A = this chain, B = another copy of it.
């Protein structure tokens, strides 16, 4: 295998692994992939090809030629000559740590090991590592071959800068956490919003489809071009965020106190399931995913048409 832009080992070949491999080969990396499950590897190369095609559609004019993807039988074979290891194993700290033992035994001490973990932290995953500084968390947003965000936590500023360069060269938008936290930034925000989305349904204020429509045509649309903090800066008129905080800060604190704290009881779950089913209007998960991906590709192109206000 002749690596033009560096060899990446993709460890764990589920939804996230196949999407990473599609993105990385779209940008000219060669990828060696490994998964302990034969089931996960069944059709993997074909799914990577589909993700690669979408990644190139989302980023027209890519200069790099396509890289190759190959499945190997042992984790050591995948990582031995890799320049970068992207780990996408299930969300279990013991399982991931056992994997890092095997990876460290087979790689150079300088090879970066990046975990795609969505819910575990650097501190939880790193205690047994022999070379901690080359280990990072690099959480993509699903699907990674279309969603620009990669949230990085690195133990040193140098490693953080190197990771930012690596993912930016893949067309990603990187953010660096200054301290590690469960859910990083994006999933904490998503979880906070969903809590209230569940509460609105649980309290009978609106149904599932109305909550989703309000988000998509209101704050979601706005947040696709402008961050939440910046939105309040513009919400403050000529006085900006200072004016907003001084005059409307207290009303926000009162609003926070009225937000819900729902439980996912069987009754609430049943209402969510029924509501999502109504919203889906008979479309399968595959059809919904295809519509999401096509819409994302269009919106990404539209955003590239100019500078984001958040940019």
Binding site for B on A (CB under 8 A): 15, 119, 141-142, 147-149, 151, 173, 175-179, 181-197, 199-201, 203-235, 237-238, 240-242, 245, 249-253, 255-256, 258-259, 261, 263-264, 269, 272-273, 275-276, 279-280, 285, 288-289, 291-292, 294-296, 298-303, 305-310
CB of A241 within 8 A of CB of B273, answer yes
CB of A220 within 8 A of CB of B223, answer yes
| CA gap between A302 and B306 in the complex, in Å | 13
Given A186-B218, A188-B196, 9 more A-B residue pairs with CB atoms under 8 Å apart are A148-B221, A179-B204, A183-B258, A188-B259, A226-B292, A229-B279, A234-B289, A245-B264, A252-B264
CB of A216 within 8 A of CB of B223, answer yes
| CA gap between A203 and B223 in the complex, in Å | 22
26 contacting pairs across A/B (C-beta < 8 A): A149-B217, A175-B213, A176-B206, A177-B210, A179-B203, A182-B258, A185-B211, A189-B200, A190-B218, A191-B196, A211-B227, A211-B228, A212-B226, A212-B227, A212-B310, A215-B228, A220-B227, A221-B224, A221-B299, A221-B300, A224-B224, A225-B295, A225-B296, A227-B279, A233-B288, A238-B285
Chain B residues near A210: list those with CB within 8 A.
Answer: 175-177, 185
Which one of A210, A214, A225, A230 has the highest number of Cβ atoms from chain B below 10 Å of its Cβ? Answer: A214
Chain B residues near A288: list those with CB within 8 A.
Answer: 230, 233-234, 309
Give the residue name and chain of the B residue nearest to A245 (CB): B269
Which one of A15, A149, A212 has the highest number of Cβ atoms from chain B below 10 Å of its Cβ? Answer: A212
| CA gap between A273 and B236 in the complex, in Å | 12
Copies per complex of this chain: 2
Instruction: Assess A305 versus B296: contact at CB under 8 Å? Given A211-B228, A223-B224, A264-B253.
Output: no
CB of B233 within 8 A of CB of A211, answer no
> What distance in Å separates the Cβ of A57 from its nearest Cβ neighbour in chain B?
13
| CA gap between A280 and B251 in the complex, in Å | 25
| CA gap between A215 and B189 in the complex, in Å | 8
Give the residue name and chain of the B residue nearest to A236 (CB): B285
CB of B255 within 8 A of CB of A183, answer yes
Chain B residues near A291: list those with CB within 8 A.
Answer: 306-309
Give the residue name and chain of the B residue nearest to A216 (CB): B310
- Which listed residue (B151, B256, B305) contacts A191, Cβ 8 A? B256
| CA gap between A202 and B253 in the complex, in Å | 15
> What distance in Å separates the Cβ of A11 from its nearest Cβ neighbour in chain B?
20
CB of A218 within 8 A of CB of B149, answer yes
Chain B residues near A215: list those with CB within 8 A.
Answer: 185-186, 189, 223, 227-228
> What distance in Å separates the Cβ of A167 from its nearest Cβ neighbour in chain B?
11
